[in-house]
Structure 1
Amino acid sequence: MNRLQKLLLLSAPRLSLSAIPPSCFLHRRAFSTSATDAVNKSRNSTLSSLNENEIAKFSAIADTWWHSDGPFKPLHQMNPTRLAFIRSTLCRHFSKDPGSVRPLEGLRLIDVGCGGGLLSEPLARMGATVTGIDAVDKNVKIARLHADMDPVTSTIEYHCITAEKLVDKGRTFDAVLSLEVIEHVANPAEFCNSLSALTVPNGATIVSTVNRTMRAYASNIVLAEYILHWLPKGTHQWSSFVTPEELTMTLKRASVDVKEMAGFVYDPITGRWLLSDDISVNFIAYGTKRNDLGDI
């Protein structure tokens, strides 16, 4: 067994509460909001989920989005597994053939928090009409430059804008995707309201994030940031991680019913990420937008 395998197997059991910086427990973000507030907030551009500290953090490393061995290496490694879930789920939701060369053809998708376009580009290659938005201007510029290298991906529409601002413009999409973003926003409830508002009735909403568990702290912060240096130190805050229950309830209050969840588990032997029933660390949720808010 090599060093990496030993670290992955041993880090969680050996972690104690005393190893967690006190700051991890200081801030709990508000997830609860009434159905009425959800409507009002999603229409009010003065309310924002924007986190200026996170904007600065990702601006500093924006040039490395397409470096497969750089700070975004974990996302490069996880991407095939994320795409497998998305492809299967959206094909089932929209009655498409997952075996088709362009299974998502005819669908309008938006990648919220698109970064450098790691998700947007393969979605475009699957035939979808893709819009990517990000609050970091440097991310959008990198995404555009990379997409323009291929005629297929050059059709992607990129904008430096927040989800809330795009809601104000009246844009809607068949499916809204936001992967590894919600743990970096200031107001998860407002963010979910915006994701819902961008989704057409009966459309699909897909969100992935990190569970707030000791295992997640061990693997995604201690191991990934401080031992293996896969990510820059400070990339994640344990207190900002989102539990499956919180995500489900927040989306429900925003008129999105979660239908399915799956976990992402790293196999240190093969170096690959696999879909799993284990949602204790990284997980992804698929939901459908209701026709109306109704009574929650």
Structure 2
Amino acid sequence: MQTPQTTVDPAEVAKFEAMAAEWWDLSGKFKPLHMLNPFRLDYITSQIAGEFDRDLKSDAPFKGLRILDIGCGGGLLAEPMARLGADVVGADAAAGNIPVAQVHAAQSGLDIDYRHTTAEAMAEAGEQFDAVLNMEVVEHVASPIDYLTACHDLLKPGGLHICSTINRNPKSYMMAIVGAEHIMRWLPKGTHEWSKFITPDELFDLLTRAGLTPVDRKGFVFNPIAWSWSLSDRDLSVNYVTASTRPS
């Protein structure tokens, strides 16, 4: 059997594997992600509910949906999806993240299928999902177009793809690298490479080339004075998120 090609960048995987034990430390290296997570979840849940006609106020609104969290880390998104009733698979190329996620899910009484694998390997195996969550991963892979093509293949026809990343401009360099890594020291220096950041127009083009249909994009905006995040229709200057569908 031919081994599927991979877009995994070993150097990028090593960065996150070194921080694996801190995934659930609210004051650790993933503090910015914990602060952002409620807004990511609001966007994700509203998009899934809208696409599959689900009532978020109902009990287990995502029951019957199979959701993949690719680049799941410690399970910050996989766990809420499971609580909403979805059948969740969490996959990560960093082996050290998986036991952290498994232990935390067990402690939380959640049944989540965590795997040390890649998007390409799962696509090659014929896995398919109603929704693929692809959050803060595309800027760390070796080939974004090949990676997004694998994400497309992992979706059932009519499925939903949620992808977030970081814009590439002087502001994002100051905020995501100088601010987060050098001044606030939220992340180790070198966590991000500015040259690998992707503009919203570039990402929409990549998604289209991968066979997906982009349907929405929003910005995640950090206010350093209020020390809080918000979702914006217009400001995609640093962090942003997109929604796409796989045509039926």
Q: What TM-score, normalized to structure 1?
A: 0.81
The counterpart of 2:146, out of the listed 186, 190, 212, is 190
| Match of residue 79 from structure 2 | 121
Q: Is the CA contact 1:45–1:164 (under 8 Å) kept in the aligned structure 2?
A: no
1:137 correspondence with 2:81: no
Cα drift, residue 46 of structure 1 = 4.3
Residue ranges of structure 2 left out of the alignment (5+ in a row): none
Q: Is the 8 A contact 1:251 1:257 kept in 2?
A: yes
Aligned residues of 1:204 and 1:289 also touching (Cα < 8 A) = yes
User: 1:124–1:218: structure 2 CA closer, same or farther, 3 Å change rule?
Assistant: same
After superposition, the Cα gap between the structure-2 partners of 1:109 and 1:46, relative to the gap in structure 1 and judged at 3 Å, is: closer
- State which of 269, 280, 283 in structure 1 corresponds to 2:225: 269
Residue 228 (structure 1) aligned to one of 184, 197, 206: 184
SS at the partner of 1:252?
A: helix
Matched, 1:287 2:244: yes
Match of 2:136 in 1: 180
The alpha-carbon distance between structure 1 residues 114 and 55, as it changes in their structure 2 partners (threshold 3 A), is same
Report if the CA contact (8 A) 2:4-2:124 is conserved: no
Percent of aligned positions with the same letter in both sequences?
A: 46
Q: Distance in 1 between matches of 2:226 and 2:237?
A: 21
Return the alpha-carbon distance in structure 2 between the equivalents of residues 232 and 48 of structure 1. 26
Paired residue for 1:19?
Answer: none
- For the 8 Å contact 2:220–2:236, the answer to whether it is kept is yes
Displacement, 1:47?
2.6
Determine which of 140, 155, 162 is the counterpart of 2:118.
162
Q: Which runs of 5+ in 1 are unaligned?
A: 1-43, 292-296
CA deviation profile, 1:44-68 (whole Å, cap 9, x unmatched): 8543211010111111111111111
Q: CA RMSD in A?
A: 1.1
Give 1:109's match in structure 2, choosing from 55, 62, 67: 67
Give the match for residue 42 of structure 2: 84
How far, CA to CA, are the matches of 1:99 and 1:88 in structure 2?
A: 11
User: Is 1:74 the counterpart of 2:26 in the alignment?
Assistant: no
Aligned length in residues: 246
Alignment equivalent of 2:213, drawn from 253, 257, 279: 257
**C-alpha separation in 1, matches of 2:86 and 2:4:** 32
Shift of 1:280: 1.1
Q: Deviations over 1:102-158 (max 9, x none)?
A: 22222110000000111100111111111000011110111001100022x2x1000
Contact 2:181-2:189 at 8 Å conserved across structures = yes
Q: Structure 1 residues 269 and 100, CA, compared in 2 at 3 Å: closer, same or farther? A: farther
Q: What do the CA deviations read for 1:4-25 (whole angstroms, capped 9, x no partner)?
A: xxxxxxxxxxxxxxxxxxxxxx
Matches within 5 A, 1:12-51: 45-51=3-9
Give the letter aligned to residue 57 of structure 2.
G
User: What TM-score does the superposition give when structure 2 sets the normalisation length?
Assistant: 0.96
Contact 1:59 1:136 in 2 (8 A): yes
CA distance in 2, matches of 1:71, 1:274: 21
Aligned pair 1:147/2:73, yes or no? no
Residues of 1 paired with 2:51 and 2:45: CA distance? 10
Which residue of structure 2 aligns with residue 39 of structure 1? none
| Secondary structure of the corresponding residue to residue 231 of structure 2 | strand
Q: 1:275/1:45 Cα in 2 relative to 1: closer, same or farther (>3 Å)?
A: farther
Q: Distance in 2 between matches of 1:274 and 1:206?
A: 18
